[in-house]
Structure 1
Amino acid sequence: MPYRWTVQTPTARRLELWPHRSLPRRGFAAFILGTFTLITIPLYPLLGTFVLWGILPFMLLAVGGIWWALERSYRDGEILEVLTLDPETIHLSRSAHKVAQKEWQANSYWVRAEMHQTGGPVPYYVTLKGNGRTVEIGAFLSEEERRSLYGELASALSETRAAHGPDG
């Protein structure tokens, strides 16, 4: 799962969420190398001809375009959401590439996790509601991961409420 719970203290937890990467960096390098190798095979019979110089720039441009697109995908996927849950407060921060960090904070006792099966930007959209605001969490996760996250999040919030009451 592209999220991880960690226990900071006996009463505080931290949740980190990030987008899933189906192509790790090592696979990225292998893919580019494989693409370059396969795309040059048709050029071997053209070695020593002027036709090679006419086709080669376009093949290199194609490999460069693939590299740029995958690299852009990596940069756009540099999202990290961090939820800190303790008896007094819940704090959510979201940082992404070239986007100002967003933060939200509320009293842990009054926060509710909600799952919207339809009507959100994605099916089974998970939000946190508290302090007069509703914020999304884990929208980049898969549908199954969002369902699992909702259950774990609701459980963590109810444990916090049960242990500490409305006044902490």
Structure 2
Amino acid sequence: MPYHWHDPGRLELTPHRSLPPQGFAVVIGLFFSLAMVPLFTMLGSPVLWGLLPFAMIALGALWWALRRSYRDGMILERLHLDEDSWTLLRDGPRNQHHEWQCKRYWVRVQMHETSGRVPFYITLSGNGREVEIGAFLSEDERKALFPELLNAASRKTDSPN
């Protein structure tokens, strides 16, 4: 699951990775092998030197696109639920860092089924701002996360008095 409660007061969310690093190596190796098959028939022919640059450009483009996808998917959202406040920290690609904090009493968890950037868009609002949480999750994952956030928002802290 791309989100995980580490304890009742800490939630971490990360995008799902469908291609692990080992898969990256396999894809590049397989593409290189398959691109070289027709070039082997051209060995000793001047046509080889006409086709080889295009094969290498295609391999380089695939490498660059997969690496770019990995960099853009380096997102980590952390939600800390303290006794008196909620803090959402979002670290994104290219050293982006965003922080939102609100008193626990004023936090409002909302799901926008059709009006958000994605279906079943979840937002936290309070302290004069509305922030998204888990927009990179799948629709089913956002549907499962929403009641958990509502439950966390409705939990009352036990006072020692």
Using the size of structure 1 for normalisation, the TM-score is: 0.90
Alpha-carbon distance in 2 for matches of 1:6, 1:156: 13
Alignment of 1:6 onto 2:2: no
1:16-71 C-alpha deviation (Å, 9 max, x unpaired) = 11111111111011011001101111111111111111101100110110010010
Alignment of 1:48 onto 2:44: yes
Contact 1:113 1:128 in 2 (8 A): yes
Unaligned segments of structure 2, at least 5 residues: none
Alpha-carbon distance in 1 for matches of 2:75, 2:158: 32
Counterpart AA for 1:64 = G
1:100-152 C-alpha deviation (Å, 9 max, x unpaired) = 31101011122121100011110000001111211110011110111111111
Counterpart AA for 1:91 = T
Unaligned segments of structure 1, at least 5 residues: none
Contact 1:87 1:164 in 2 (8 A): no
Q: Secondary structure at the match of 1:52?
A: helix
Count, aligned residues: 159
Compute the RMSD of aligned alpha carbons: 1.3
- For residues 15-164 of structure 1, the aligned pairs below 5 Å read 15-159=11-155, 162-164=156-158
Alpha-carbon distance in 1 for matches of 2:149, 2:76: 17
Contact 1:78 1:96 in 2 (8 A): yes
The structural deviation recorded for 1:164 is 4.3
Q: Secondary structure at the match of 2:147?
A: helix
Higher relative contact order (CA 8 A, sep 6+): 1
Alpha-carbon distance in 2 for matches of 1:35, 1:6: 40
The structural deviation recorded for 1:99 is 4.5
Alpha-carbon distance in 2 for matches of 1:120, 1:94: 19
Alpha-carbon distance in 2 for matches of 1:101, 1:68: 24
Alpha-carbon distance in 1 for matches of 2:107, 2:19: 36
